[in-house]
């Protein structure tokens, strides 16, 4: 995932020696003059008035400790050693109360913002392909008071259409303001909300709707026409479709027995005095959401999440964002059917922040749908908070911004370029020591920072570990910390988040204040809590954020969830982690990815993939092994820029597809992969012996990865079955 970012390594070998000497002297003088003031200013006070010490010392302090002093834990955040935290505000223990609390405190502040579409046109590219480009206006805002009114009217309108409390209702919609309004309506009227990814295939969507027996669904015009319409006959219980768009008002050629309503019409229905009825407020233990995971294996599973689960989860997350308040602006563009995005937005709502909506295609000035010369969403919104999943972050944001940065660097004169290179390397050194560089940020990186709006103070990354190279690029160029998090749908997305002043890489921080973490020995995989230098094992997460289990999956619930002797609920993640000296967790393996080769060696496919993804030539990789065989093989999505440079060295020509299907190119790539594997100290039996190059990237639309870009091994195996047989000598 760090393909082009890896090449963001500035060297100074070609610079004028005299200029270099002059700049080094300036940097030395600057460091000497600013060290003492900056060191004193970096001292940080504790809440009780005493001092942590310098920023460097604060970054190194213990984040978590074992409650019982045992290496297996359970580990808790140092601030919640005696008791786990369950809520942000006393008495605010359900999501309807949370939104009412926010609307009461911040009635006239902006809540949800949407950009107006000024124009839309088709733009033909040089290769003949046609892309839709949009010109967008300013953000238009709903206040907290107006949002609460809109949600209340919608909930009342849904009740008038026959939706009953504690009866499931589905939402199948893009990330937009109407999603949160609809969700809040359901939370308020105690309608359990079934969320389904918009990228799932027809059979998976039908499965979720039928399993939860929904009669009402909230969707958009586009998704109704392109995804839902084809499966309506497979969902016989469905009676009402609520479309969030205002047009059209007439829907011909739909099955009889299904009524289609515009959201505005349902809100008008709910606003009528004759439809007013006393609502049955939810209890903390009631189901708020049934969230269908995109699932890396098999059919998607619905995770039952209670109001108290979500309240606890967002309480833990909010504690890791310093000074979170109504002055903050969050940009929402990840799928709201993903627990990370839903939790992040609810954290913001609970603190009165603004949420402006976007999409990966309109996020930055360089994004694919933004018309040249017009502004992307970050430039207009100027968010202070962002969340991202690493693959999407690198593919949609980092690569484009990296190219933009490099273009700007190339356009600089010799003096400017030298200053930028030295500033970049100087800042890397300072970050490694735990120090900030305010002058560098202001003089050198201000323009780069403006590519994300110029005001971003926190970037939260979840879904998969962020590569060290990408994290460092973001730290340096965007002048803000990156909080790496670890959590699952089954834990409301809450588990760990690194503290923002901890600039170390490759770790996911300590446990949140709402949960605790234990390590369970996995003897077969060779991981034990007694391992040195760090205890290792399967990660178990316990606390009020651990969900109620899978919907109608009793056997799976018995396998993955348990309640201990103290009544604490736990989830067995299947991930392997290690706790380091300061109480930070590092994800090192995946239990389900272990395969025993014919000769008896155990291979962790996840470990092999994690190591090889650091190779600049690899955009994505799936390692595969059969227990009847003696070696590992791999399916590889190569980085186009790196591969073209490699084949050019050897004079190999051809189209992209021809290159990926070339035996000679396969052998070249395999040689590079083998070198990278040896450098990463993989065992010989762990190194793929044969590979298949894929000319097409793996996206959720291909069905080969989940919406969180996790590999779907079963689907990948089916997709590459012929290649598997070939690589194992079958043909």
Confidence at residue 574, expressed as pLDDT on a 0 to 100 scale: 92
330 belongs to a structural domain: no
Written as six digits, the tokens of 659 are 């290159």
Least confident span in 275-279, 333-337, 458-462, 637-641: 275-279
pLDDT of residue 465: 67
Q: Write out pLDDT tens, residues 210-251.
A: 999 999 999 999 999 999 999 999 999 999 999 999 877 778
Query: Which residues lie below 8 Å from residue 5, measured CB to CB, with a gap of 6+?
Result: 394, 398, 399, 402, 467, 469, 470, 473
E strand or H helix that includes residue 29:
helix 17-41
Residue 295 has pLDDT above 90, yes or no: no
Q: Is 423 helix (H, G, I), strand (E, B) or coil?
A: helix
In a domain, 54, yes or no: no
3-class DSSP state for residue 331? Answer: strand
The model's confidence at residue 22, banded by pLDDT at 50, 70 and 90, is: confident
Are the beta carbons of 42 and 56 closer than 8 angstroms? Answer: yes
Residue 677 sits in a domain whose CATH number is 3.30.300.30
Is residue 624's pLDDT more than 50?
Answer: yes
| Closest-CA residue to 582 (of 514, 520, 523, 496) | 496
Domain residues for the domain of 659 are 597-727
- Is residue 1 a part of any domain in this protein? no
In this predicted model, what pLDDT tens digit does every residue of 50-104 receive, in sequence order? 444 555 666 678 899 999 999 999 999 999 999 999 999 999 999 999 999 999 9
For residue 395, is pLDDT > 90?
Answer: no
pLDDT digits (tens, 9 = 90+) for 371-393: 988 999 999 999 999 998 766 65
User: Residue 574 in contact with residue 588, Cβ under 8 Å?
Assistant: no
pLDDT of 452 reads 87
* E strand spans, 597-665: 602-604, 618-625, 632-638
Predicted TM-score (pTM) of the model is 0.86
Residue 257 lies in a domain: no
Domain-located, residue 703: yes
Whether 695 maps to a domain, the answer reads: yes
Top-confidence residue, 109 or 590 = 109
Q: Is 367 inside any structural domain?
A: no
Give the model's confidence band at 105: pLDDT under 50 very low, under 70 low, under 90 confident, else very high: very high
Asked whether residue 710 is domain-assigned, the answer is yes
pLDDT at residue 472, rounded to an integer: 81
Give 117's strand partners: 136
- Provide CB contacts within 8 A for 245, sequence distance 6+: 220, 221, 262, 263
Into how many domains does the chain fold? 1
pLDDT of residue 464: 66
Closest C-alpha to 698, from 686, 688, 690, 706: 706
Cα Rg of the chain, angstroms: 26
């Amino acid at each position: 995932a760090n393909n082009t970012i890896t090449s963001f390594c500035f060297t100074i070998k070609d610079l004028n020696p005299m200029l270099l000497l002059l700049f080094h002297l300036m940097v030395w003088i600057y460091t000497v003059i600013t060290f003492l003031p900056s060191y004193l200013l970096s001292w940080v006070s504790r809440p009780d008035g005493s001092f942590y010490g310098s920023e460097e010392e604060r970054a190194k302090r213990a984040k978590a400790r074992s409650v019982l002093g045992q290496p297996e834990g359970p580990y808790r955040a140092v601030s919640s050693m005696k008791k786990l935290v369950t809520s942000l505000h006393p008495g605010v223990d359900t999501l309807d109360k949370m939104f009412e609390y926010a609307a009461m405190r911040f009635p006239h502040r902006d809540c949800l913002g949407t950009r107006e579409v000024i124009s839309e046109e088709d733009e033909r590219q040089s290769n003949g392909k046609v892309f839709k480009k949009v010109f967008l206006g300013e953000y238009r805002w709903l206040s907290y008071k107006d949002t609460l009114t809109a949600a209340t009217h919608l909930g009342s309108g849904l009740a008038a259409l026959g939706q009953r409390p504690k009866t499931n209702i589905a939402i199948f919609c893009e990330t937009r303001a109407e999603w949160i309004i609809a969700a809040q309506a359901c939370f308020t009227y105690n309608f359990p909300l079934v969320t389904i990814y918009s990228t799932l295939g027809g059979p998976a969507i039908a499965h979720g709707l039928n399993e939860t027996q929904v009669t009402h669904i909230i969707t958009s015009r586009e998704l109704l026409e392109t995804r839902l319409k084809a499966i309506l006959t497979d969902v016989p219980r469905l009676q009402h479709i609520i479309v969030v768009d205002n047009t059209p008002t007439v829907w011909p050629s739909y099955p009889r027995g299904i009524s289609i309503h515009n959201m505005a019409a349902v809100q008008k229905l709910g606003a009528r005095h004759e439809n007013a009825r006393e609502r049955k407020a939810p209890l903390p233990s009631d189901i708020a959401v049934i969230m269908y995971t995109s699932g890396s294996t098999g059919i998607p599973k619905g995770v039952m999440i209670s109001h108290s689960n979500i309240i606890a989860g967002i309480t833990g997350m909010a504690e890791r964002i310093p000074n979170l308040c109504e002055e903050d602006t969050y940009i929402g563009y990840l799928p709201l059917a993903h627990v990370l995005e839903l939790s992040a937005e609810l954290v913001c709502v609970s603190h009165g922040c603004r949420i402006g909506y976007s999409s990966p295609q309109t996020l930055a000035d360089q994004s694919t749908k933004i018309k040249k010369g017009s502004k992307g969403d970050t430039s207009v919104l100027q968010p202070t908070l962002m969340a991202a999943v690493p693959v999407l972050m690198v593919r949609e944001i980092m690569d484009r911004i990296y190219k933009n940065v490099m273009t700007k660097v190339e356009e600089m004169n010799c003096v400017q370029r030298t200053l930028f290179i030295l500033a970049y390397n100087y800042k890397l050194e300072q970050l490694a020591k735990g120090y900030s560089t305010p002058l560098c940020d202001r003089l050198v990186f201000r323009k780069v920072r403006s590519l994300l709006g110029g005001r971003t103070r926190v970037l939260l990354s979840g879904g998969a570990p962020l590569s060290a190279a990408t994290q460092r690029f973001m730290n340096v160029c965007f002048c803000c910390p990156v909080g790496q998090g670890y959590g699952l749908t089954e834990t409301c997305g809450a588990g760990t988040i690194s503290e923002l002043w901890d600039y170390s890489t490759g770790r996911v921080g300590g446990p949140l204040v709402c949960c605790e973490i234990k390590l369970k020995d996995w003897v077969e995989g060779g991981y034990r809590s007694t391992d040195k230098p760090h205890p290792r094992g399967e990660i178990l997460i316990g606390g009020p954020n651990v969900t109620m289990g899978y919907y109608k999956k009793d056997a799976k619930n018995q396998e993955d969830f348990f309640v201990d002797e103290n009544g604490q609920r736990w989830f067995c993640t299947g991930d392997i982690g290690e706790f380091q000296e300061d109480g930070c967790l590092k994800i090192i393996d995946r239990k389900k990815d272990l395969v025993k080769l014919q000769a008896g060696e155990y291979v962790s496919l996840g470990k092999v993939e994690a190591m090889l993804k650091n190779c600049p030539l690899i955009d994505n990789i799936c390692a595969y092994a059969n227990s009847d065989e003696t070696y590992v093989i791999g399916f590889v999505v190569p980085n186009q820029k790196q591969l073209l440079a490699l084949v050019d060295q050897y004079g190999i020509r051809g189209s992209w597809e021809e290159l990926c299907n070339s035996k000679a190119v396969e052998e070249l790539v395999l040689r590079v992969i083998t070198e990278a594997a040896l450098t990463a100290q993989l065992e010989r039996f762990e190194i793929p012996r044969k590979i298949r190059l894929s000319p097409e990237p793996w996206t959720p639309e291909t069905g080969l990865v989940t919406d969180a870009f996790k590999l779907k091994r079963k689907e990948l195996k089916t997709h590459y079955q012929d290649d598997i047989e070939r690589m194992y000598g079958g043909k």
